């Protein structure tokens, strides 16, 4: 009975390691620019990507018509729609000693690096579109 339990346990461990191997290889993000991501959007949908560009709001108002877009540069006409990942506003002062809460406006107009996944979504005022869902972001400029 002990050898059966050990064999079953060993088989499960081997199976888990074998299954994790290909998944770990796929988690390495493809490094692309926003224009490259748009050009390869069908190929890169649902795959991890690492994108550098300038984040901006293509909507008419930050609070009522927010459409976050990542472009190659500020003059670029086309960009990748980005799902906002941070609050649009936060308290001015925190009294609990914690660092200030990051806001989306901290990133707008700046060069950023975003790690995320491009997915099919429906966007208000746009309709069906490819949208970059952010896993992590940092300002690089």
Summarised one tens digit per residue, pLDDT across range 12-52 is: 443 444 444 444 445 668 899 999 999 999 999 999 999 99
Residue 84 within a domain: yes
Beta strands 80-83 and 127-139: pairing type?
parallel
Residue 80 within a domain: yes
The torsion defined by the Cα of 76, 90, 133 and 31, in degrees rounded to 10, comes to: 60
* Mean pLDDT along residues 57-70: 90
Residue 15 within a domain: no
Residue 118 within a domain: yes
Nearest to 66 by CA among 111, 122, 123, 19: 123
Question: Which region holds residue 112: left if phi is over 0, alpha if psi is between -120 and 50, else beta?
Answer: beta
In total, the chain counts a number of residues equal to 141
**Structural domains in the chain (count):** 1
Residue 23 within a domain: no
In which domain, by residue range, is 118 found?
28-139
Q: Per the structure block, which two tokens stand in for 90?
A: 């936060």
User: What pLDDT, on a 0 to 100 scale, did the predictor assign at position 33?
Assistant: 94
CATH code: domain of residue 128:
2.40.50.140
Q: How far apart are CA 73 and CA 47, in angstroms?
A: 23
Residue 68 within a domain: yes
Summarised one tens digit per residue, pLDDT across range 70-115 is: 999 867 678 999 999 998 888 776 677 777 788 999 999 999 999 9
User: What pLDDT, on a 0 to 100 scale, did the predictor assign at position 100?
Assistant: 78
* Residue 10, pLDDT above cutoff 70: no
Distance from the Cα of residue 84 to its chain's centroid: 9
**20 touches 14 (CB < 8 A):** no
User: What pLDDT, on a 0 to 100 scale, did the predictor assign at position 8?
Assistant: 40
* Residue 139, pLDDT above cutoff 90: yes
């Amino acid at each position: 009975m002990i050898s059966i339990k050990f064999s079953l346990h060993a088989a499960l461990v081997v199976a888990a390691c074998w299954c994790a191997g290909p998944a770990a290889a796929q988690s390495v993000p493809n490094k692309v620019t926003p224009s490259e991501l748009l050009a390869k959007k069908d190929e890169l949908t649902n795959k991890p990507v690492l994108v550098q560009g300038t984040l901006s709001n293509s909507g008419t108002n930050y609070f009522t018509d927010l459409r976050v877009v990542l472009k190659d540069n500020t003059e670029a006409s086309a960009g990748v729609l980005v799902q906002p990942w941070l609050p649009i506003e936060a308290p001015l002062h925190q009294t609990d000693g914690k660092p200030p809460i990051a806001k989306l406006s901290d990133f707008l107009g700046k060069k950023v690096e975003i790690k995320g996944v491009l997915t099919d979504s429906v966007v208000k005022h746009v309709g069906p579109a490819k949208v970059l869902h952010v896993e992590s972001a940092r300002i690089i400029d």
